[in-house]
Amino acid sequence: DSGVTQTPKHLITATGQRVTLRCSPRSGDLSVYWYQQSLDQGLQFLIHYYNGEERAKGNILERFSAQQFPDLHSELNLSSLELGDSALYFCASNGQGIGELFFGEGSRLTVL
């Protein structure tokens, strides 16, 4: 158990819909990272939040947004969903400096 909690584990929805994925980092970690894992693109960095502030963005679509709340949990919002958005979405957290990134078990999104 990495200590990172993600909900929901599975989500099935239709094109055009909007979903919210939730992540709670390890106790004491201020950083939350979101990654997307798809068959053709592998693991891709989406966005990083540190203590409520956005710190870095990857190739995140404009239809996607995220935020980190005062209690440090984070939400990834995916809107106007397309078939190609079907993927595993991972949240990860870490402590200070360069070191281990702790991943949650992921949220599997299926868009039909």
User: For residues 66 and 106, which CB has a smaller minimum distance to another protein in the complex?
Assistant: 106
Cα separation of 112 and 71, whole Å? 33
Least distance (Å) between residue 80 CB and another protein: 26
DSSP code of residue 100: P
Concatenate the DSSP letters of all residues of 31-76 into one string: EEEEEEEETTTEEEEEEEEETTEEEEE-S--TTEEEEE-TTS-EEE
Does 70 interact with another protein (rule: CB under 8 A)?
no
Footprint (CB under 8 A) of another protein, residues 20-39: 31, 33
Least distance (Å) between residue 58 CB and another protein: 7
Does 12 interact with another protein (rule: CB under 8 A)?
no
Least distance (Å) between residue 30 CB and another protein: 11
